[in-house]
Structure 1
Amino acid sequence: MHANGSTSTRIEPTMRGVTETVLTERWVTVSRACAQINQAAERALAERHGLCVSAFEIMDVMARTDDWIRAGELSSRATRSQPQVSRLLAQMVSAGYVERKPCPNDRRGFDVQLTPPGRQLFAQSVATMETVLREMTESSEEVRDAMGVTAAHQ
């Protein structure tokens, strides 16, 4: 608080000459933790299920929908670009994990849903993700901090 009663955030230079605020420091921590998690998840999902993180996220959106979902809606819910979603959907349709049909209201669009084998693969990949996340939170303080969990007592 200043002598006149006002408050302000003062940005102090660090020892390295880079300015940091609490928010910036927090964002960097979260970004690093996400990168660590994504790298571990990419490896585990690819090795165990032949999936990438983007396909997992798309399947997650479809798994939370009990019915058909528009491909465009899927793209907006999944934080992935429309071309990326379209490419991954084509691969998942070819693999038998997703079925698609023309959208009844829009001849240019199509609806998609997970097939029973797709739901089974997704359930297995969720178990893998839980293992990856558990291991990451146990081994990385940065990940624990970003995820808001405390260390497991060993």
Structure 2
Amino acid sequence: MGKREIPLFVFDKNREHGIGECDFVCCTDIDNGFIAKIDYTNEPEGVTERTRIGKPNNGISLRIEIKRIIGKNPDDATIRTLMKKAESLYVESSQMKVVEKPTDADMINFLDILIDGNKHYLSAAGSDVNERNTILSSLKMLDSIKHRLIELSGN
């Protein structure tokens, strides 16, 4: 089977794995494949052999941390390049396209992206109970708006 007969990256974004607010990516490259955890941090931008932390946005950076190498002949430079590509695809898939006249489905999808994208603030809040409660209230309100929109649109 050739390298590109299957997707190069497979993202798990359902967050139902029960280990906190993170997603996963599997790189299926034959020689340099890996499984990595994707989460958010307030650490500075940087790259190591097994971790990539992107440019901060409002003090929060995307972190990709390799948990397992699955490639047959791993090369550190190629793996770093693949982590950068995975980061770009992840960020691109998490952003909403600008739509002139959004449909109900567009608005529901936007709310899903907004909810998922803001869950990382819970872990960033740490032990600050007031901040956590504010974030939880906001997430609950966004989810309620989404469900009301679903009811009204008949989906």
Q: TM class by shorter-chain length?
A: under 0.3
Structure number with higher relative contact order (C-alpha < 8 Å, ≥ 6 residues apart): 1
Of structures 1 and 2, the larger Rg is shown by: 1
Higher share of residues assigned helix: 1
Provide the TM-score with structure 2 as the length reference.
Answer: 0.27
